Amino acid sequence: MKTSFLIIFTILILFINQVNSDYCGVISYCTKSYHCCNFGGGNERCCLKSISCNDAEKDKNKMAQCIPMSNIFANIGGKK
């Protein structure tokens, strides 16, 4: 019983670690037609549509179009 709990706990920790990882791979939070950007190498990941991350980083108006990850989590299942 302890062994199975330990295995489940370990898998859970690995999953949580993946969600909090510093890149937008494996599990992509951005919906279709959006891609993920990580500005400044920090945890400020956001989703951009049709603009490359490099272009947005050079232009503050374009960067403002990047939807923060926290908003994506809040809207899961909300938009079709």
Q: How far apart are CA 57 and CA 74, in angstroms?
A: 25
Question: Tens digits of per-residue pLDDT, 63-80?
Answer: 888 887 655 555 454 443
Residue 4, burial from CB neighbour count under 10 angstroms (0-12, 13-18, 19+)? exposed
Question: Tens digits of per-residue pLDDT, 30-51?
Answer: 777 777 887 766 566 788 888 8
Q: Is beta strand 34-38 parallel, antiparallel or unpaired with respect to 45-49?
A: antiparallel
Q: Helices (H), strands (E): how many in the chain?
A: 4, 3
User: What does pLDDT average to over the chain?
Assistant: 68
pTM beyond 0.85: the answer is no
Higher-confidence residue of 6 and 17: namely: 6
Q: How far apart are CA 29 and CA 18, in angstroms?
A: 12
The whole-number average pLDDT for the span 16-27 is: 48
Residue ranges per structural domain of the chain = 23-80
